[in-house]
């Protein structure tokens, strides 16, 4: 039941402004002049009631619409949040190797160019403020790691055993490198580590520590079965040349590191080799020559090899 207060004003004012002011202040439906007929008064009252009821229905409808819009907005916001979370998870999955839970090549291609640009800007800013002085922690070290004789694990114990070995590598890499470094499954039994904002002088110690950790680890491949593994490592640093930091690309750096890795495997395995250049080198073709004429470049001291091997290194292709 709807209760309506019907407001009637009786006034002695005759000026229009006073009447209008009274009507506006009291929110009067209609003003009737005296004298008036009872029929007209009743008709006006009926219309006022109808108008009031219609307005109330309209107000209730608008309020209901507002509530529904608010509820729908909350639902959409929740759905958007779910979609955003799903997108983030999908993005993470697409950038992660599902077997080892390490990052994959797509991750490297997505983020590395920005890191390279930042590395070059940092070095440029430093050189402008400290001409002639080298910035210690402004390198990006690329380590290629390959598990020695991994095929024999699959052939002897099966692919499930090989998968167990590959999954164990993640924790071993994390024991040597920082959380800010990129740990990537490069393919098969090969892994790539990009140590960011690093010092090239630390590369031999990092390589040796990783070699020792993998060689000393017991790889569990079954309920009562474990085995030992070794690895070979090759590394190179970006920028390759301090005097011309943007000449050699990071893709070429990986090729140089891979060439060093191959030499480590040819020279006996369970070893690491790194390739660096002289501080004053500016040869724009040095990356290609380091791959094609490695031994000659070493003899000319255009590049230098650092290694855990005590004997000769086999650079034959």
Domain harbouring 238, CATH code: 3.30.70.270
> What tens digit of pLDDT does each residue of 44-93 get?
778 777 877 888 888 888 888 888 888 888 888 877 887 777 676 777 77
Two tokens, residue 159: 């692919």
Q: Say whether pLDDT at 33 is over 70.
A: no
Ranges of beta strands (E only) in 120-277 are: 139-147, 182-187, 190-198, 219-222, 225-227, 231-238, 272-277
Say whether both 143 and 80 belong to one domain.
no
* Residue numbers of the domain that contains 227: 105-307
Cis peptide before 239 (omega within 30 of 0): yes
User: Backbone dihedral region of 80: left (phi > 0), alpha (psi from -120 to 50 degrees) or beta?
Assistant: alpha
pLDDT at 131: 82
Q: What total of structural domains would you count in the chain?
A: 2
* Rounded Cα–Cα distance for residues 175 and 158 (Å): 27
Same domain, yes or no, for 27 and 148? no
* 89 and 118 fall within a common domain: no
169 and 124 co-located in one domain: yes
Residues 29 and 76 in one domain: yes
Query: Do 134 and 56 sit in the same domain of this protein?
Result: no
Q: What is the radius of gyration, based on Cα positions, of the chain? A: 39
pLDDT of residue 242: 85
| Domain match, 118 and 199 both | yes
Residues 86 and 64 in one domain: yes
> Does residue 313 belong to any structural domain of this protein?
no
Q: pLDDT (tens digit, 9 = 90+) per residue, 139-197?
A: 999 999 999 999 999 999 999 999 999 999 999 999 999 999 999 999 999 999 999 99
The answer on 259 and 125 residing in a single domain is yes
Residue where one domain finishes, among candidates 64, 94, 124? 94
Does the structure show a pLDDT above 80 at 231?
Answer: yes
pLDDT band at 6 (very low <50, low <70, confident <90, very high): low
Q: Are residues 85 and 137 in the same domain?
A: no
Domain for residue 189, yes or no? yes
Would 315 be classed as within a structural domain? no
Q: pLDDT tens digits, residue range 86-137?
A: 676 777 779 999 999 999 999 999 999 999 999 999 988 888 888 877 777 8
CA–CA distance, 47 with 64 (Å, rounded to integer): 25
Domain shared by 5 and 80, yes or no? yes
Q: Do 71 and 162 fall within a single domain? A: no
User: Does some domain include residue 77?
Assistant: yes
């Amino acid at each position: 039941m709807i209760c309506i207060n019907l407001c009637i004003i009786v006034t002695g004012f005759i000026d229009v402004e006073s009447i209008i002011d009274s009507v506006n202040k009291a929110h009067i439906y209609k003003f009737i002049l005296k004298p008036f007929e009872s029929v007209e008064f009743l008709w006006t009252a009926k219309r006022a009631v109808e108008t009031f009821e219609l307005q109330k229905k309209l107000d209730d409808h608008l309020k209901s619409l507002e509530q529904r819009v608010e509820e729908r907005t909350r639902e959409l916001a929740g759905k958007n949040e779910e979609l955003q979370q799903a997108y983030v998870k999908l993005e993470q999955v697409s950038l992660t190797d599902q077997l080892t839970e390490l990052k994959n090549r797509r991750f490297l291609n997505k983020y590395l160019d920005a890191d390279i640009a930042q590395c070059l800007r940092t070095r440029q800013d430093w050189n402008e403020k400290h001409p002639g002085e080298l910035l210690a922690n402004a390198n990006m070290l690329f380590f290629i790691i390959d598990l020695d004789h991994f095929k024999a694990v699959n052939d002897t114990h099966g692919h499930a055993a090989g998968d167990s070995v590959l999954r164990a590598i993640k924790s071993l890499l994390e024991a040597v490198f920082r959380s800010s470094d990129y740990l990537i499954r490069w393919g098969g039994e090969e892994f790539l580590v990009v140590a960011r904002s690093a010092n090239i002088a630390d590369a031999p110690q990092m390589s040796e520590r990783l070699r020792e950790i993998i060689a000393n680890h017991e790889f569990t491949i079954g309920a009562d079965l474990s085995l030992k593994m070794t690895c070979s490592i090759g590394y190179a640093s970006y920028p390759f040349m301090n005097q011309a930091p943007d000449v050699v690309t990071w893709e070429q750096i990986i090729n140089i590191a891979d060439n060093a890795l191959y030499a480590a495997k040819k020279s006996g395995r369970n070893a690491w080799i790194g390739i660096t250049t002289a501080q004053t080198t500016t040869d724009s073709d040095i990356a290609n020559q380091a791959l094609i004429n490695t031994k000659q470049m070493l003899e000319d001291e255009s590049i230098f090899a650092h290694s855990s091997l005590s004997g000769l290194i086999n650079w034959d292709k």
